[in-house]
Amino acid sequence: MVARIKVTVPTAGLTAIALVSLLLASSVEAQKQKGMTPELEKLRAALDKYQDPIVAVHDGYFSTVGCVEYPKPGGQGQVPYPAGGMGVHFFNVGLMGKLDPFKPQVLVYEPVGDKLRLVAAEYFVPLTPDLKERPRMFGQAFDGPMEGHHPLMPHELKHYDLHVWLWKSNPAGLFAPTNPDVKCPKAAYTLQETAPRIVPHK
């Protein structure tokens, strides 16, 4: 006869195990992202506070409300977006005109259940007469120039932008504008957009 031993794990122990598992999963996902350099890891750590969207609001980032996705890739005359999602954009207009890696103009969140999960930082440079050349950051050329993303901004807001998927692995690439793994809920504020039109750099 084999004796059976019952092992009881305290509730606090289970909570700790769950928390460690969650942290390890988050760390593994971040490590999976190809192209993540020490510079980008430092940037992600500096911006981690914005995983709480209320902290982002306190620092001047305000939600555009809509969750944006692109069901079709960009075609002729459009920015060549791969099909995929972007999420909910929080804009900080006070940072427009400044290009500092630690002060992105936009934070991007993915709705997950009743939470907003920080997935990317976006750098946004308006197309102005004094802008002489295409912006670059992290060794990457910005996408654009392009029209504003209607309906959340006017077409006339022509700009360059660069997405960096610091918190969510992106099969399309670390700097791709869209992420096929970002999902918007089936809700009134989910916006299925078409890729913006390319405009000349004047």
Q: Per the domain annotation, does 14 fall within a domain?
A: no
Q: Who's near 102: CB < 8 A, 6+ residues apart?
A: 43, 46, 47
* Total structural domains within the chain: 1
Q: Could you tell me which of 30, 64, 33 has the C-alpha nearest to residue 47? A: 30
Tens-level pLDDT at each residue, the chain (202 residues): 545 444 444 544 444 444 444 444 444 454 456 789 999 999 999 999 999 999 999 999 999 999 999 999 999 999 999 999 999 999 999 999 889 999 999 999 999 999 999 999 999 999 999 999 999 999 999 999 999 999 999 999 999 999 999 999 999 999 999 999 999 999 999 999 999 999 998 7
3-state secondary structure at position 76: coil
The CA distance from 180 to 148, in Å, is 22
Supply angle C-alpha 177, 93, 173, rounded to 5. Answer: 15
For position 202, what pLDDT does the model report? 73
Q: Could you tell me which of 128, 193, 189 has the C-alpha nearest to residue 156? A: 128
Supply angle C-alpha 37, 159, 49, rounded to 5. Answer: 45
Domain that holds residue 63: 35-192
Q: Per the domain annotation, does 169 fall within a domain?
A: yes
Q: Per the domain annotation, does 130 fall within a domain?
A: yes
Token pair for residue 9? 């794990």
Contact (Cβ atoms closer than 8 angstroms) between residue 145 and residue 164: no
| Residues 99/102/103/106 CA torsion (nearest 10 deg) | 100
Distance of CA 198 to the CA centre of its chain: 21
For position 32, what pLDDT does the model report? 53
Instruction: Kindly state the DSSP code that residue 48 receives in the 8-state scheme.
Output: G
Q: Per the domain annotation, does 135 fall within a domain?
A: yes
3-state secondary structure at position 53: helix
Q: Per the domain annotation, does 82 fall within a domain?
A: yes
In the sheet where 62-70 sits, what is the strand order? Answer: 143-146, 159-164, 115-126, 106-112, 84-91, 62-70, 190-192
Distance of CA 162 to the CA centre of its chain: 10
Q: Per the domain annotation, does 51 fall within a domain?
A: yes
Q: Per the domain annotation, does 30 fall within a domain?
A: no
Q: Per the domain annotation, does 11 fall within a domain?
A: no
Task: Say how many C-beta atoms besides its own lie within 10 A of residue 174's C-beta.
Answer: 19
